[in-house]
Structure 1
Amino acid sequence: MNAFTLLPFIVLIAAMFLMTRSAKKKQQQAANMRNEMQPGSGVRTIGGMYATVKEVNEDTVLLDAGPGVDLLFAKNAIGAVLTDEEYNRIVHGIEHDLKSDADIVPDDASSLTETDEPAAAAAASDDKAVDLGKKDADEDKADAAEAAEAKADEEPKKTDGDSDAK
């Protein structure tokens, strides 16, 4: 056998080895995360439900999903163990890192356009109208009429009795 015929098989085996190795590594990390769960920590299940760990057993986890709602899940159903900050941000909408001194952006833009001077003073200001290059409506109508007349002059008018075809 030639070395070149064995090369594709060697590459294929190496690729399979690397893929299974990375999959095993991810499974091991997930198992470690599930084994390190403590009561009181926030979790997300693989179904997307957020809850607090109430009790951890060997193969199951008792979750507190709300007041008076306790759910029993398999440990494998836990998708992620969240930090307290992340859990509170997602579930309760609490942001801990907001600065109280920071400018608060309003929900609407009305407060951004208001001024402190009264409306009469604003109207009496010396601002002049700015010409933006727009034509008046009368000028637009006159231009349209001239264009229509020019087009009519270019094309000969045909009547029912006159025909160019012979």
Structure 2
Amino acid sequence: MNLVTFLPFIVLIGAMFLMTRSAKKKQQAAAQMRDQMTPGTGVRTIGGMYATVKEIGDDTVTLEVAPGVHAIYAKNAIGAVLEDDEYNRIVHGATDDLTIDTPVVPDDASSLIESAEDKTEDKTEAKAEDKDADAAPKLDLGKKDEPKGDAEGGAK
């Protein structure tokens, strides 16, 4: 038989072998990365959520997604194990530079709530405006009051 006939099949088999080998390497690297997890390690899931590892099981991992909020994930759902510096920079916005030009936003809404003094001042201003509105003359809308006796067919 002719060698030219078998050449495309040989190339195809070689390409499949290389693709399978690279996929296995990626799987091994991912498994090795997941083995580096320890409680307290920061991770990113394949869905893009950042969390802290609390417990590690055989096939699952318990993550703290918010303070006091724990969720159980499959180990395969861990996309990356992060260094402490990188995790703190992403999650907490912590930087080595202490001069931050961005405004500080308070954690509570106390600065958004009016104080009792502000409320009493607003009430006294509103009462004064109401008194001014009562003192204004009434508008004449063109409707005249007719005497009751002058209506058509009415008694005099």
CA drift at 1:105: 9.6
Aligned residue number for residue 125 of structure 1: none
Looking at structure 1, the residues matched to 45 and 14 of structure 2 have their Cα atoms a distance apart, in angstroms, of 34
Distance in 1 of aligned mates of 2:100 and 2:53:
36
CA distance in 2: counterparts of 1:105 and 1:95, whole angstroms: 9
**What is the DSSP-based 3-state SS (H/G/I as helix, E as strand, rest coil) of the residue aligned with 1:58?**
coil
2:44 aligned with 1:44, yes or no?
A: yes
Determine the structure 1 residue equivalent to 2:128: none
1:34 is matched with 34
Query: Is 1:72 aligned with 2:69?
Result: no
- The reply to whether residue 17 of structure 1 matches residue 30 of structure 2 is no
Aligned length: 102
Match of 2:89 in 1: 89
Residue number in structure 1 paired with 2:58? 58
* AA matched with 1:56: I
Per-residue CA distance 1:9-67 (angstroms, 9 max, x = gap): 11110001001110111011101111221111100011111000011111110111111
Unaligned runs of at least 5 residues, structure 2: 103-156
Match of 2:3 in 1: 3
TM-align CA RMSD:
1.8
Please give the TM-score of this superposition, normalised by the length of structure 2. 0.61
Partners of 2:15 and 2:67 lie apart in 1 by 50
**Structure 1 unaligned residues grouped into runs of 5+:** 108-166
Amino acid at match of 1:21: R
Distance in 2 (CA, whole Å) between partners of 1:11 and 1:66 is 52
Residues 91, 106 of structure 1: alpha-carbon distance in 2 compared, 3 angstrom cutoff: closer
Calculate percent identity across the aligned residue pairs: 69
SS at match of 1:63: strand
Amino acid at match of 1:78: I
SS in 2 for 1:93: coil
Q: Take 1:106 and 1:71, find their aligned partners in 2: how far apart are those partners?
A: 35
SS in structure 1 of the partner of residue 7 of structure 2: helix
Offset, 1:74 = 0.8
TM-score (norm 1): 0.58
